[in-house]
Amino acid sequence: MADIPAEDLKVEAWPYGKSPGGQRCGTHPGVRVTHIPTNTTATVECAGSQFRNKEIALEMILAAVTHLRFRP
């Protein structure tokens, strides 16, 4: 992350869900990113890949913690 140290972030991911019969469900791999110092969390499941979901979540965290409203 450009302005946020990696040690300030907790990234959790989960794979595709399984439906009966072993087929993949229609859900995409989800990602939850937490900015530990502010306890700000972004959860994203909308993109087609876990990589893209992580990018979106990181962008959301960066926007939230750098926004003027959140600065001391």
Domain at 49, CATH number = 3.30.160.20
- Label residue 53 by pLDDT band (50, 70, 90): very high
Query: What local confidence, expressed as pLDDT, does residue 27 receive?
Result: 56
Handedness of CA 61, 4, 40, 72 (dihedral sign): negative
Query: What local confidence, expressed as pLDDT, does residue 1 receive?
Result: 53
> What are the two backbone dihedrals, phi and then psi, of residue 18, each rounded to the nearest 5 degrees?
-115, 140
How many domains are there within the chain? 1
Which domain range does residue 59 map to?
A: 6-70
Residues 47 and 55: their CA atoms lie apart, in Å, by 10
Strands (E), the chain: 9-14, 30-35, 40-44
- Residue 1 included in any domain: no
